[in-house]
Structure formats: structure tokens, C-alpha cells
A = this chain, B = another copy of it.
Amino acid sequence: MSAPQQKLEKMESVLEKYIPEDELKEVKRVLYGLNRGKPVAKLPITKEAQDLATKYNFEIVASKIEAEPEQLRPPRIVRMGIIQNSIAAPTTDPVLDQYLAIESKIEKMIDAAGAMGVNVLCLQETWHMPFAFCTRERYPWVEFAESASNGRSVQFIQRMARKYNMVIVSPILERDDVHGSTIHNTAVVVGNNGNIIGKSRKNHIPRTGDFNESTYYMESELGHPVFHTVFGKIGINICYGRHHNLNWLAYGLNGAEIVFNPSATVGELSEPMWGVEARNASMTNNYYVGSINRVGTEHFPNEFTSGNGKPAHKDFGHFYGSSYFSSPDNCRTESSSRVLDGLNIAEVDLNLCQQVKDKWNFQMTGRYSMYADFLTQYVKPDYKPQIVVDPAMK
């Protein structure tokens, strides 16, 4: 817990600790936005949920985001939850033991979500395993992969979904036995009846540094599905897809009201981007975003290099957690911790999405035909960029 990136437990705590109330209000207005003219409200945490958190050493934060009343539509209040977790057993333990240790931890956290009345929950990217792709080793890591229709973790999530009448998005490493036993980075969407509604896959695969995932799985060919559940329309933009504005846009144009971004990312690479990209997506596409990052440092048995000239090592840095929600009206919620497991909850009114679209008109003014033409031209091998050279240079 002494690495520089772990000095900061949580941005909000530092701001609240030092800045006087009057100025803090202004700082938070600019950094976190307002909901209906006021700071985002806290949602009370039930005793049952807090007791679980205390007993099992995770943090719960909970917020409430409101919409305006409408005349013809009732409010559509939904409680969303996102869970960030560290792994629960050494990466040298047998695969099944590692999985079961994480499952046990997640079960308590879903119990707490249930005790808070969460309707829609999303877990972190490949939550059921260490993020071992940095190693470039196949075994034992691919043994964590499982069927998206009846894998071990899928069945566990189905049980939890039924138990709490909860839609659960479960991002896993998938093995697709129907298609050549290939591996995929997949989010399984389980309905509140425990039924499997469908799956979505990662659209953009990183090919940089320790993110060697392109050696494990390919880009999704499943498009940008939006899952219409009883608790709203949900899209899943997995991890590196958050750097691609077109990816966010496609979920929005397909009607998403909530987009989850289950991720695994470390401080040195991405932390200054973490509070920016998802919020930008939320405010320009006018849907809620739940951003989830795993937490902690994962040590692997064998050393590996990172393609950056530095010596081989056995971990790739601290996953800084900091999961949070962005709102379509450009406010955001408190972060989860940078160092602790966490359940972050937001009670929202889904009507806010359309209300903000009606107010800002980004979709009406989007000129999508122009950009369809632009991209169609751009991808041609003989594309000529629209460059105007200063005649004085010629």
C-alpha cells in the first residue's frame, strides 16, 4: 500500500478534507456538475448492506440522480450498481480455487446490492479471474474461460439474478465451443428472471504495452447490441472501447439509456483519462455510464516484459478502482475507493436521458449523413485528406 499511486485513497476525500465549504461547493460544481441545480444527492445505505460491507471489508457509496417530472410518462426510477474487486487468492493457486474465492467475495457484494434494492448490476471486466493477459501465457489462464450460456460463473450469476430480481451484466472470458473453441472478451446479460438475454463482446482490443489482449481474442463481430430489459435499455462498452468515441456513439444511436464500461486499467497509463472519457460519452450521447475498474495489484508467477524497454517484472501496476457513474445531464457521482473493493450505487430516473436530448439537441444537430459520407471516403485507400497548404510554403 506504499506505492505512489496508492497514496491517494479517493479524490473526493482530499477535496472535502481541505477545501472550505463555500469554495468546495464551487469546485464540486465545476468538477462534478449539478443535477437539477443541486449537487448530486447521497442515497442512504441500509444497515443490512453496511453490515455486509463492514464484515467483508468493502466500501459502499450511493447517490441519487433526479429528472424533471413529466406529464405523460411516470418517472422510471432504477437503481444501478457497479462492483469493483481485487482478486481473492494468489494467482499460483489452482484455477478453480481462484475462481471460487472471487465468487465467494462477489456473492457478499451482490447480497449487499440486493439489500440496497439494486435493479441493474454490472461487474468488472473478466471479474472471475486475474487480468493475466499481460503474461502472454496461454495456460493456466485460458482455463478460466467458460461458456456464455452455461459456464460456472454464468450459473452463479443466474442464481443471484433470480434471488434478487436483478438484471446482471457479467463480463467474462468466454470460450465459444460452437466457433472453433475460440476465446472472447464477453459480457453476458442475465435478465431479472435469471434468463440469459444475450451477450455483447469487446469491440476494440488494445495492442499496447501490457495490454496484450490481441493475442487472446479478436474484435467483436456482434455489433453494438442494446439489451431492452425491464429496468431500461443497456449497452456494454468493454474497457479499451472507451477510447473510441464511435463505439460510444453507436450504443447511443441504438437507444441505450445505460452503458456500462467494465474495465481493467492501471494508473500510469490511464488515470487522468478515467474521469474524462466516460463522462464525455455520457454528456454527448445522453445516457448514464457506469465505469468500473478493478482494484489492487496482481502478482503473477512468471516474469514478463511490457514492450517499453524496462526490466521484466511480475505485476503491471496498481488497478486504481475509482468506479463511478456519469449522468446524461453532465453531473457525476462520487468515486469508489482507489484501493478497496467497492459497490457503487446510483438511483436514477431514466427519463432524464430523453429530457437532456430534448434540451441540448445533440442528436438533432449531429449531421450523421455527412459523417457517414466522410468515413466512407476516409476508409478508401486513395483518400485525400482535406488539407489546405499555406501557399506561401509552396
Q: Which residues of A contact B (CB under 8 A)?
A: 4, 7-8, 11, 14-15, 18-20, 22-23, 26-27, 29-34, 189, 191-193, 195, 197-198, 203-209, 219, 223-230, 233, 240, 243-246, 248-250, 253-255, 271-277, 279-280, 283-284, 330-331, 359-362, 364-369, 371-372, 374-376, 378-379, 385-393
Contact = CB atoms under 8 A, between A and B. Distances in A.
A368 B362 contact: no
Given A277-B284, A368-B378, A8 B20 contact: no
A386 B254 contact: yes
Contacts of A208: 359-361
Contact of A197 (B331, B376, B391): B391
Nearest to A207: B361
B372 A243 contact: no
Contacts of A8: 23, 26-27, 30
A164 B390 CA distance: 17
A165 to B, nearest CB: 11
A29 B14 CA distance: 13
Contact of A7 (B22, B204, B276): B22
B197 A390 contact: yes
28 contacts: A4-B26, A7-B22, A8-B23, A8-B27, A11-B27, A14-B19, A18-B18, A18-B19, A203-B367, A204-B366, A205-B365, A208-B361, A219-B367, A223-B386, A226-B388, A227-B387, A228-B389, A243-B362, A246-B246, A246-B368, A250-B371, A253-B378, A254-B387, A276-B276, A276-B279, A277-B280, A279-B280, A368-B378
B365 A207 contact: yes
Nearest to A190: B390
Give the interface centre of A240, A245, A391 by most chain B CB atoms within 10 Å. Answer: A245
Nearest to A167: B390
B374 A33 contact: no
B245 A249 contact: yes
Given A248-B245, A376-B376, A379-B368, A227 B273 contact: no
B272 A386 contact: no
A370 to B, nearest CB: 8
A276 B283 contact: yes
Contacts of A228: 387-390, 393
A284 B245 contact: yes
A366 B244 contact: yes
